[in-house]
A and B are shown apart, each in its own frame.
Chain A
Amino acid sequence: MKNKINIKGIFAMMMVASLFLGCQKDFPVDEDGLLITFRRECFVSNFELLGNDFVSVRNGVPIIDTVAQTINVTVNFGTDLKNLYPQFTLATDCKLDPKITGKVDFSDLANPKTWTVVSGDRQVRKAYKVFVKVQ
């Protein structure tokens, strides 16, 4: 009889313990299903421009100013500015807004394109302007 009571007690304790486990909170994700972390770093570490043929059209290295939040890039003479694929390398856990989904038209050189870098904790947002200059 005593044994039966002990088994019941152990079973009850396990049930309570599993309830606690079940209530553990999931890691938070944002609207894109990306993990929201504690990182606050928010910057562009590298930038690339690919042509229609997926070959780099950069002439020299891009100049990224993380204080002024600008990217200055010179492209080869004759680059087809209407059909370029920009590629950003960001700090860990950051994401880009708006997303790059295909070719981007950079032909309006007077009005540089702007992308916003969002930090890993999604609290810091920094808008970077991309200035393109033709060789």
Chain B
Amino acid sequence: MNMRKHIFKTIIAAGLWAVTLTSCEKDEYKVPDPVSALSNDCIKRTLGPNIASLPIEFVYAMAIPKSKGKLAFAEVTASIPGAAGTFLEHRSFYTNSSGVDVPVTVGTPSVTNGATTKMNFTVDTSAASLRYYYIVPNEARGQKVKFTFSVTASDGTTAYYEMGPYDVSKMEIKRNIAVSNNNMAFLSIADMTSYNATSAASNAAKIDLVYLYRTTPTTFTHGLVAPGADAALYLPGVTLPSGVNNATKVIKVFSLQDRNLAQMQFGIYVDDIDMQKVDFNNAPLHAVGLRAENGVWVETADKKYRAYVFINSVNANGSAVVSMLRYDMTAK
């Protein structure tokens, strides 16, 4: 019995000793290696989904010890060539004490050749922080895109930095579409534009919503109504062009100010998955009482497109400005 007690005590003591040793292990501080060669770093500044026609912004930083030489040129190669407007800044930015980004010209404006954008340094500098704006091309929708950043110094050395791959959204965007009562009142999701009655008649199958403004009843105000809705109730005084009769489903939304559509400070983004998950069962064919910064989820009558239409601004004279994100449900 005594022997067993002794063994038990020994095991406990050994366990405690082991724990003590483990917890006392010391992490040695290591002095970071000084930058002894050309080095670089990169961050992606753009948040939210990557949408065709909009930029993805990166900041590419590079430095070389003064004793080794100076920066010669920087370039970025995208796996899918960027659309027109893609460029690498020829100005290096630093943030001053007031928090303002101040540019300093360090080279000649970049030249894009195919998928590669190149900028040559013209000043004697050993460090720079350049911004790269990649305009997402339409052909990249639904694909992945990645980037190789590189910088070459006067001593012939080159440093590389890989970014991505990033998913490119299947959505398309159209901003600032003007709609007005009894004029540009016919909104097409398929064409992502508004039409007047004459143009709507020749695009009848593509007209998904009618914009109207009514003061009676008082809660009607600005409305987006499907042509197939109860006309007596929700389309009073509207004469629909021949063939305009789509039963588009509409769900009114409050407080969903997508940053790309609102072009304001909001940090909310509508993404592909939101479009896929909206439940349109039992959805009505009308949304009335709309105000600025409201929105509507839309599903076209043929179920080909889903869209989020955001109300940028409204005017009591019976007009509004809307922006939309559209998702093609049939696209692979």
Contacts and interface: CB of A to CB of B under 8 A. Distances in A.
Interface residues of A, number: 14
B116 to A, nearest CB: 47
A77 B252 contact: no
B265 to A, nearest CB: 21
Contact of A51 (B220, B252, B255, B283): B252
B282 A77 contact: no
Contacts of B220: 77-78
B223 A78 contact: yes
A82 interface: yes
A54 interface: yes
Interface of B: 217, 219-220, 223, 234, 251-255, 282-284, 286-289, 294
Contact of B217 (A51, A53, A77, A83): A77
Given A83-B282, A105-B282, A76 B219 contact: yes
A97 interface: no
Contacts of A78: 219-220, 223, 234, 286-289
A25 B283 CA distance: 52
Given A82-B282, A135-B217, A77 B288 contact: yes
- A51, A54, A83, A105 — most chain B CB neighbours (10 Å): A83
17 contacts: A51-B252, A53-B253, A53-B294, A77-B217, A77-B220, A78-B220, A78-B223, A78-B234, A78-B287, A78-B289, A80-B251, A80-B284, A82-B282, A83-B284, A105-B282, A135-B217, A135-B219
Contacts of A80: 251-252, 283-284
B219 A59 contact: yes
Interface of A: 51-55, 59, 76-78, 80, 82-83, 105, 135
Given A77-B220, A78-B288, 10 more contacts: A53-B253, A53-B254, A53-B294, A76-B219, A78-B220, A78-B286, A80-B284, A82-B282, A82-B284, A83-B283
Nearest to A83: B282
6 closest A-B pairs by beta carbon, nearest first, are: A78-B288, A53-B254, A76-B219, A77-B217, A80-B284, A82-B282
- A76, A80, A82, A135 — most chain B CB neighbours (10 Å): A80
A76 B284 contact: no
- B251, B252, B283 — most chain A CB neighbours (10 Å): B252
A66 B268 CA distance: 44
B219 A55 contact: no
A76 B219 CA distance: 6
- B234, B282, B286 — most chain A CB neighbours (10 Å): B282
B155 to A, nearest CB: 61
- A51, A55, A78, A80 — most chain B CB neighbours (10 Å): A78
Given A82-B282, A83-B282, A77 B254 contact: no
A77 B219 contact: yes
Contacts of B254: 53-55
Nearest to B285: A80
Contacts of B217: 77, 135
Contacts of A135: 217, 219
Contacts of B253: 52-53
A108 to B, nearest CB: 13
A4 B289 CA distance: 86
Given A78-B289, A83-B282, A52 B219 contact: no
A52 B289 CA distance: 13
Nearest to B219: A76
Nearest to A59: B219
Nearest to B284: A80
A55 B289 CA distance: 12
A78 B255 CA distance: 19
B288 A52 contact: no
B283 to A, nearest CB: 8
A51 B220 CA distance: 15
